[in-house]
């Protein structure tokens, strides 16, 4: 009982660490707000690749990547994953620095319910009654917000869709989080290098020209990106998926707190109602998960 309990506590701490880092990530991107979002994205990709490649080298597992990169299907999966990841990263950075943190929070509340829908459609997973109601409520929330504000909440939808599709592809991918993300950033790194090189040649790049703090923060983007992912990978092995899923909502809750309380973003009544519907949907979804996991009495 003791060791298992300790393992669970360690896993929960790792999960909370990962979600806290993701939840407070807007503070980091706000600190480099004067740098264009595309340039920040390029730095995030480049430094993430260097950091991850360094970790793979230190672990001595470079050879583990060779069989994967020789298979066309694997390369296709990771190419698509890299595409969705770059869309997600870029949209998130732009939204944070455009004072739309509340909308990013909505996206990451919607994300798990959209992932459920993709699981049903592509992986033929089955849902309980309450889970079906939860997905329907999420659809109602997005529809209501679209009508109320006269336009779809496109930031939330792009973030939720891109990350849900990324998650779906990762379920089909053969490698663990570290090696998979290393391949994904390796695919994106050449584009980032070319873009950053062009900025340097034109004299418009921020790196080494926008002050020591900004330069340091851009260079640390790899560590900031990889650390929560590695913590998450540890947590996924230590605790149940149910616990991991429930803790997941710590991240968008932090984002909502930052957007409304710290950065004073508007949170009008339509958004409040939409969030309330999403929270109800999530409560129903996890109630069903917990009900299905509860041991049934012997007959």
Q: How many helices (H) and strands (E) does the chain have?
A: 14, 0
pLDDT (tens digit per residue) in 62-102: 877 777 777 888 889 999 999 999 999 999 999 999 999 99
Q: What is the pLDDT of residue 299?
A: 42
CB of 220 closer than 8 Å to CB of 32: no
Rounded to an integer, the average pLDDT of 36-55 is 94
With a CB cutoff of 8 Å and minimum separation 6, the contacts of 283 are none
Sign of the torsion angle spanned by Cα atoms 178, 238, 13, 3: negative
> What pTM, to 2 d.p., does this model score?
0.88
CB of 267 closer than 8 Å to CB of 99: no
Q: What is the pLDDT of residue 68?
A: 72
Confidence tier at 298 by pLDDT (50, 70, 90): very low
d(CA 293, CA 68): 35
Please state at what angle helix 37-59 crosses helix 72-97, rounded to 10 degrees: 130
Domain boundaries, the chain: 2-292
Q: What is the pLDDT of residue 1?
A: 43
d(CA 278, CA 68): 39
Residue count of the chain = 299
CB of 247 closer than 8 Å to CB of 14: no
d(CA 257, CA 80): 32
């Amino acid at each position: 009982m003791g060791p298992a309990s300790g393992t669970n506590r360690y896993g929960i701490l790792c999960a909370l660490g990962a979600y806290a880092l993701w939840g407070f990530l807007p503070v980091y991107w706000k600190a480099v707000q004067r740098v264009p979002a595309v340039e920040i994205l390029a730095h995030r990709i480049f430094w993430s690749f260097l950091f991850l490649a360094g970790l793979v080298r230190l672990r001595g597992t470079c050879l583990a990547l060779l069989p994967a990169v020789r298979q066309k299907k694997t390369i296709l999966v990771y190419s698509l994953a890299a595409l969705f990841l770059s869309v997600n990263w870029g949209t998130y950075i732009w939204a944070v620095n455009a004072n739309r943190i509340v909308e990013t929070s909505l996206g990451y509340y919607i994300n798990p319910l959209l992932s459920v829908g993709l699981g049903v459609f592509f992986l033929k997973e089955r849902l309980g009654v309450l889970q079906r109601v939860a997905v329907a409520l999420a659809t109602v929330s997005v529809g209501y917000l679209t009508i109320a504000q006269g336009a779809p909440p496109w930031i939330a939808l792009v973030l939720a869709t891109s990350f849900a599709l990324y998650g779906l592809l990762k379920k089909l991918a053969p490698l663990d989080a570290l090696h998979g993300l290393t391949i994904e950033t390796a695919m994106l790194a050449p584009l980032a290098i070319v873009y950053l090189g062009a900025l340097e040649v034109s004299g418009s790049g921020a790196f080494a020209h926008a002050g020591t703090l900004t330069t340091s923060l851009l260079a640390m983007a790899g560590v900031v990106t990889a650390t929560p992912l590695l913590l998450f990978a540890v947590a996924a092995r230590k605790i149940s998926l149910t616990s991991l899923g429930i803790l997941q909502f710590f991240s968008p809750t932090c984002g909502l707190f930052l957007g409304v309380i710290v950065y004073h973003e508007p949170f009008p009544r339509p958004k409040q109602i939409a969030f309330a519907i999403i929270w109800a949907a999530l409560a129903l979804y996890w109630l069903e998960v917990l009900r299905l996991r509860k041991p049934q009495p012997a007959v």
